[in-house]
Structure 1
Amino acid sequence: MKMICPFCLHHCRLEEGQTGLCRARKNVGGRSVAVNYGRLTALALDPVEKKPLRRFMPGSMILSAGSFGCNLRCPFCQNHEISMAGRESAAAAMTPEELAARARALAGNGNIGVAFTYNEPLVGWEYVRDTARLVRRLGMKTVVVTNGSVTDLVLDEILPVADAMNIDLKGFRESYYRKLGGDLETVKHFISRAAGACHVELTTLIVPGENDSDEEMEELAAWVASLNPEIPLHVTRFFPRWRMADARPTPVDTVYRLAERAAEALRYVYVGNC
C-alpha cells in the first residue's frame, strides 16, 4: 500500500516496505513507522551549555541521547556517521522507561533530564514524546536539539512535553536551505511556534561563502527579534567536516563581526567554536 509520510517537509511517497529520505521512517501497512524507535547510537552526560543552551538551567548536566537518521543533507554534518545512517548503524535498544530511569539514576550527578540530540531527533518523534512524558512525571526536563524541519503534526505532539529547544537556523536564504535539502519557511514556522511554547535558543553555523554576509545576519537577527529580542542566538564557527573536509574554517573575526551585527537586534548573542 503506497503512502505519503506526513511528518516532514519532504512528504516522501513510499511503497510498502520502503524507507524515506530520513532513513528513519518506513511504510509499514500504509503507516509511517519510526524504525529508529528505541534505538540509540549515542548516550552521554553533557553540560547543558554544550547543546548549546546558555540561558536554560546553566551549570546543569543533561543526559544526551542520539539515534540515527536526519531529513536534511548538510555537507558539513559533524555527526554524519549516525545522522546519515539507517538501520545498519550500531544502535543499542533502550525503551523510554529505561532511558527515563537512567536519567533519574544520574540526578545525583547533576542531571536535570534528557536531551535528544546528535542526529535529528524528530524524525523519530514518537520516542521523544513517549520518553519526555515519563521524564516529566519524574520532575525532570526534556531538551530537543533539532533542525526544525518537521510539520505541525510533530509539533503538536512534542511542544506539550518539551521544556527547551535549540533549533538550527542555518541561514536566512531559501537558496542556501535548498542546498542543504531543507526549506527556510518550514523552519521559521517551527521556530515561531516553539518560541511561544517553551524555552528556545537558536544556532547559526557560519560557513564561508555561504551565509557569512552582514546583510544576511542583520535580516536573520531582525526576524528573530520580531518574535522576541530575548531569544538567544549562538553564532558558531565552521570547521571542515564530512563532504566539506577540504574547506577552510570560518575566520574567527568573521564570527565575531556577525555576532556584533546580530547583537544590534538581539539581547543575547553568543559566539561558539572560536
Structure 2
Amino acid sequence: MAFESESTVATKYWHQLEDGRIQCDVCPRHCKLREGQRGLCFVRACEDNQIVLTSYGRSSGFCVDPIEKKPLNHFYPGTPVLSFGTAGCNLACKFCQNWDMSKSREMDTLADQASPEQLVIAAKNLGCRSIAYTYNDPVIFMEYALDVAAACRESDIFSVAVTAGYICKEPRVEFYQGMDAANVDLKGFTERFYKKICGGQLGAVLDTLKYLKNETNVWFEITNLLIPDENDSEAEIHQMSEWIMENLGPFIPVHFTAFHPDWKMLDKPRTPSQTLTRARNIAISKGLHYVYTGNVFDVKGESTYCHQCGAMLIERNWYVLGYWGLDDQGCCASCGTPLAGFFEPHPGIWGARRLPVRMVS
C-alpha cells in the first residue's frame, strides 16, 4: 500500500472497534482513532483504516554519547554509543527534560534522515559499540528501531533502548527481542504520581521490568528521577527498593538522578545531592548491590564497588572513568567476585565527549 510519505509505514499492533474506530495496541494508552487522527504520541496515526508510523527513518538528530549517559554503568563502560530519537512520546510527564522533541507536534523537528543501514555504517565508522534509541521513547517508533536493531545484529553492533517501559504485552515481546540492553525509567512508585504527573500507569511499567528479568536476556538498569516533594519521600524509596529486591534481585543497577526545573515543572527546585545520597543508602540497606547517584558531582555515588569485599571496581567522575579494578574476566581484582553486566578486558576511553553527527545520504 502506498502512503503519501516515505516516512510513513504500516504497523501491525492495532484492531478495529465496533464503532469503526481503530485502536492502537502498542501501549496501555490504547488510543482509539478515526481516519486522519493521531495518537497522543503524535507519530502513530490512523490512515487508510489502519495504524501507521509517520516518522520512519527520520530523526530529531544524531549524536555520539558515552554509554554512561544513557545511563548504563554495567554495559561496556567507557564506550561510545550513537544516539538518536524522533518526535513524540506516549507519556505526558510534566517534568520532561527532552520536551522539545518528545512533545513536538511539528514534523519539521525531524530534520535528519537515515536508513537502518546508514546508521550501522555510521556507528562502525565512528567506533561506536552500540546504537541507542533515546531522547524520546523508542516504543512509539518501534518499527524503525527494530529495523535498525536487525541491521546492528548483522554487524556486531549492540542495540540499547532508553525507555519508560510503557508498552503492551504482545509488542513488548517483539521489541525486546531486538534489544541487547535497556535503561528503564521508573518514574515513581505510586499510581498517583504516574497518573497526576506522567499520565500513565505504574503497574504497566512494573510488568515490563518483571518481563525483562524473567523472560529475556536483555541487560537492563533502572533510573529514578527524584523530584522534591513529589516522589522523593523515604517511604516511597523504601517501597521501591523492596519491590526491586523482591522481584528483580540485588544485581540490577539502580540510578537515582537529580531533577532540574523544566517544561511544566518550573516551580520545583533542583534535587539536593543529599536527597540522592539518602535514596542510595536506603536502596543499599535493602540489599541492592549497585546503586548510583546521577546529574550531580559525586564520585563515591557514581562509582562501582564489589558487593563482596567492598573494593572499588570502576571509578567515575561524571562520565569519565578513572580507576579500573576488574580483571580480564570482569571480576573483582581483589577477591575474584564477578561483577554483573558486560565488560571487556579494558575500559573504553570515550570519556565525556558529546559529538553531534550529521548523516549524509
Q: One fold, TM greater than 0.5?
A: yes
Q: Which residue of 2 aligns with 1:236?
A: 257
Alignment of 1:154-165 (within 5 A): 154-165=171-182
Q: Secondary structure at the match of 2:107?
A: coil
Q: Report the more deviating stretch, 82-91 or 20-29.
A: 82-91
Distance between the aligned counterparts of 1:213 and 1:55, measured in 2? 27
Q: Secondary structure at the match of 2:130?
A: strand
Identical residues among aligned pairs (%)? 39
Query: Are the aligned partners of 1:68 and 1:89 in contact in 2 as well (CA < 8 Å)?
Result: no
Alignment of 1:22-171 (within 5 A): 22-91=41-110, 92-107=112-127, 111-171=128-188
Q: Which residue of 2 aligns with 1:260?
A: 281
Q: Which residue of 2 aligns with 1:250?
A: 271
User: Over residues 44-100 of structure 1, what are the superposed CA-to-partner deviations in whole Å (9 max), with x where a residue is unaligned?
Assistant: 001000000001111111100111110111111111001001343421221112112
Q: Which entry has the higher C-alpha Rg, 1 or 2?
A: 2
Query: Are the aligned partners of 1:64 and 1:117 in contact in 2 as well (CA < 8 Å)?
Result: yes
Q: 2:231 aligns with which of 178, 195, 211?
A: 211
Q: Which residue of 1 aligns with 2:295?
A: 273
Q: Which residue of 2 aligns with 1:172?
A: 189
Q: 2:213 aligns with which of 187, 195, 203?
A: 195
Distance between the aligned counterparts of 1:244 and 1:89, measured in 2? 26
Question: TM-score, normalised to structure 2's length?
Answer: 0.73
CA apart distance, 1:31: 1.8
User: Over residues 78-130 of structure 1, what are the superposed CA-to-partner deviations in whole Å (9 max), with x where a residue is unaligned?
Assistant: 110010013434212211121122112222xxx10210000111111111111
Q: Secondary structure at the match of 2:76?
A: coil
Query: Are the aligned partners of 2:120 and 2:157 in contact in 1 as well (CA < 8 Å)?
Result: no
Query: Are the aligned partners of 1:148 and 1:187 in contact in 2 as well (CA < 8 Å)?
Result: yes
Distance between the aligned counterparts of 1:87 and 1:121, measured in 2? 18
Counterpart residue type for residue 259 of structure 2: F
Alpha-carbon RMSD across the aligned residues, in angstroms, is 1.1
Distance between the aligned counterparts of 1:113 and 1:101, measured in 2? 12
- Structure 2 unaligned segments of length 5 or more: list them: 1-19, 297-361
Distance between the aligned counterparts of 2:107 and 2:182, measured in 1? 28
Query: Are the aligned partners of 1:82 and 1:89 in contact in 2 as well (CA < 8 Å)?
Result: no
Distance between the aligned counterparts of 1:126 and 1:166, measured in 2? 19
Distance between the aligned counterparts of 2:105 and 2:121, measured in 1? 26
Q: 2:199 aligns with which of 177, 181, 195?
A: 181
- Structure 1 unaligned segments of length 5 or more: list them: none
Counterpart residue type for residue 79 of structure 1: N
Question: TM-score, normalised to structure 1's length?
Answer: 0.96
- Alpha-carbon spacing, 1:89–1:183, altered in 2? closer, same or farther (3 Å): farther
Q: Secondary structure at the match of 2:264?
A: helix
Distance between the aligned counterparts of 2:183 and 2:244, measured in 1? 14
Q: Secondary structure at the match of 1:75?
A: coil
Distance between the aligned counterparts of 1:30 and 1:220, measured in 2? 42
Distance between the aligned counterparts of 1:98 and 1:76, measured in 2? 33
Counterpart residue type for residue 27 of structure 2: C
Q: Report the more deviating stretch, 157-166 or 92-101.
A: 92-101
CA apart distance, 1:181: 0.6
Counterpart residue type for residue 151 of structure 1: C
